[in-house]
Amino acid sequence: MSHTDNIDFLCGNVSADENGHLLFAGQDTAALAREYGTPLYLMDEERIRERCRTYIKGLKDAFGDKGQALFASKAASFKRIYEIMREEGMGIDVVSSGEICTALKAGFPLSKAYFHSNNKTDADIAYAIKNGIGHFVVDNREELYAIDKEAENQGIRQRIMLRITPGIDPHTFAEVATGKVDSKFGSAIETGQAEEMVKIALSLENITLSGFHCHVGSQVFDSDVFLRAADVMLDFIADIKEKFGFSPEKLDLGGGYGVRYKAEDPHIDIYDNILQVGAFVKEKVAKLGIDMPEISLEPGRSIVADAGMTLYTVGTVKKIPEFINYVSVDGGMTDNVRFAMYGAPYTLFAAEKLNEKADMECSVVGRCCESGDIIQENVMMPESICRGDILACLTTGAYNYSMASNYNKIPRPPIVMLNEGKSYVAVRRETIEDLTMYDV
């Protein structure tokens, strides 16, 4: 048994070869780092497709023709991903004109897109309608009126869903919990605002109400959360049917399934979870005597997170005796702001030193002028770690590229896709020249 047999690589697409090199989607990560340079985002295309298929199959097996899988594209928004979603038959959730434009450039059929956000601008609304957005997921009353007005201007009748706040605490970190009554998102059932929204929506002439949406939070491990959300939403639907005689065509239960960032994180069997949701919904619909709506889920993280990995080159290694060791890399909060924002956990490896014992505790930090520019604390690295070594940070496919910045005028890394033993660039590396592109 070799030393690497004991390492938990989190996801089946990560492994080690006999030389102690880290492999991703079967490819040598250090060799990729040398070929494409660092920092570098890698994405495993096969894994993304496999995840889409799990959701599509799960929803089909749970709901037959009444199941629909959408990708929450805020998790990773670039042209190639929308092409993959189109090819896999996924719908998408978008939150800005920028995401819509990117999807359009990939030839994504906008009729399968749902436009979220708690504050769509008038320009967003006009742009989305002009390009044939399938649905708006309307957050609040001002937005209802604004969409109705713009639909009238453009001479169409616009389909919408209403974002409802079910009043559920998903037990995840506060920044990504969205289902509680005091959330900035949606209209709460508890306050009567949700009902008020239905009333207005049904009265407006240029709008067709297709159904309801909720999303309770992100990085959720407790499978019960989706059942509780479905429970509250179906009760709401029954109540609305009684009060207004309105039966929604659609119910979207949002995204949120958690992924493994660390060895101690549990595995979630998504297919199994969807079947549980299916059984629960069918039973409850029958009990309430309401029509079965089309059910959709809109995962982001669980589609792309472990399909991603970031590679860095080590620069300075600073050992402060009796205090702390710092291993600095050539990226940082500009390509991964999640530790700085949420204290998010990550697992890192020295990509060519997996055969060495990792017994030096350190903080892996970035190159920005900011003490909070930390990728991860309490990381175990081999004592020999030094300038020029390649470090890999796992599970970076969700919300890393999409939240990247140019702080300190640092160019953003490229995205290189891996598929069937080959690699190709999906997003090219920014150059320092690109960084003055908008300066006049």
Nearer to ligand LLP, 39 or 256 (CB): 256
Nearer to ligand LLP, 134 or 256 (CB): 256
Q: Which residues are catalytic?
A: 369
Consecutive H or E run containing 100: helix 97-105
For ligand LLP, which stretch binds (CB under 6 A), given 46-54, 252-260, 413-421, 432-440? 252-260
- 72 touches ligand LLP by CB under 6 A: yes
What is d(CA 238, CA 343) in angstroms, rounded to the nearest whole number?
41
Distances 120 to 130, 194, 242 between C-alpha atoms, Å: 15, 18, 31
For ligand LLP, which stretch binds (CB under 6 A), given 23-31, 194-202, 294-302, 355-363? 294-302
- 186 touches ligand LLP by CB under 6 A: no
- 328 touches ligand LLP by CB under 6 A: no
Question: Which of residues 301, 367, 412, 429 is near ligand LLP by CB under 6 A?
Answer: 301
Nearer to ligand LLP, 71 or 349 (CB): 71
Looking up tokens 């890394």 gives 413
Q: Are 216 and 172 in contact (CB under 8 A)?
A: no
- 215 touches ligand LLP by CB under 6 A: yes
The DSSP symbol for 220 reads: B
| Stretch 93-112 residues interacting with ligand LLP (CB under 6 A) | 93
Question: Which of residues 51, 80, 116, 180 is near ligand LLP by CB under 6 A?
Answer: 116
What is d(CA 72, CA 88) in angstroms, rounded to the nearest whole number?
14
Nearer to ligand LLP, 307 or 398 (CB): 398
Could you please report the per-residue DSSP string of 66-93?
A: GEEEEEEGGGS--HHHHHHHHHHT-EEE
What is d(CA 251, CA 293) in angstroms, rounded to the nearest whole number?
6
Residue closest to 83 by CA, chosen among 61, 58, 108, 101: 108
- 302 touches ligand LLP by CB under 6 A: yes
Could you please report the per-residue DSSP string of 340-371?
A: HHH-----EEETT-TTS---EEEEEE-SSS-T
Nearer to ligand LLP, 312 or 399 (CB): 399
For ligand LLP, which stretch binds (CB under 6 A), given 25-33, 104-112, 295-303, 377-385? 295-303
- 399 touches ligand LLP by CB under 6 A: yes
Looking up tokens 């007005």 gives 149
Amino acid letter at 29?
T
- 3-class secondary structure, 13: coil
Amino acid letter at 125?
I
- 306 touches ligand LLP by CB under 6 A: no
- The backbone torsions φ and ψ at residue 389, rounded to the nearest 5 degrees and listed phi first, read -70, 155
- 218 touches ligand LLP by CB under 6 A: yes
| Stretch 338-397 residues interacting with ligand LLP (CB under 6 A) | 338
- 3-class secondary structure, 381: strand
126-157 burial, b at 16+ Cβ within 10 Å, e below that, comes to bbbbeeebbbbbbbbeebbebbbebbeeeeee
Nearer to ligand LLP, 338 or 367 (CB): 338
For ligand LLP, which stretch binds (CB under 6 A), given 40-48, 250-258, 312-320, 372-380? 250-258
- Partners of 28 in beta bridges: 23
Q: In angstroms, what is the minimal distance from the CB of 113 to ligand LLP? A: 13
Nearer to ligand LLP, 166 or 299 (CB): 299
Nearer to ligand LLP, 27 or 102 (CB): 102
Q: Are 397 and 305 in contact (CB under 8 A)?
A: yes
- 69 touches ligand LLP by CB under 6 A: no
- 414 touches ligand LLP by CB under 6 A: no
What is d(CA 310, CA 271) in angstroms, rounded to the nearest whole number?
27
For ligand LLP, which stretch binds (CB under 6 A), given 293-301, 315-323, 345-353, 422-430? 293-301
- 176 touches ligand LLP by CB under 6 A: yes
Q: In angstroms, what is the minimal distance from the CB of 79 to ligand LLP? A: 20
Q: In angstroms, what is the minimal distance from the CB of 255 to ligand LLP? A: 3
Which strands make up the sheet holding 22-24, listed edge to edge?
14-16, 22-24, 27-28
Question: How many positions of this chain bind ligand LLP (CB under 6 A)?
Answer: 19
Residue closest to 327 by CA, chosen among 294, 353, 292, 300: 353
Question: Which of residues 134, 170, 248, 254 is near ligand LLP by CB under 6 A?
Answer: 254
- Site residues, ligand LLP (CB under 6 A): 72, 75, 93, 116, 176, 178, 215, 218, 254-256, 298-302, 338, 398-399
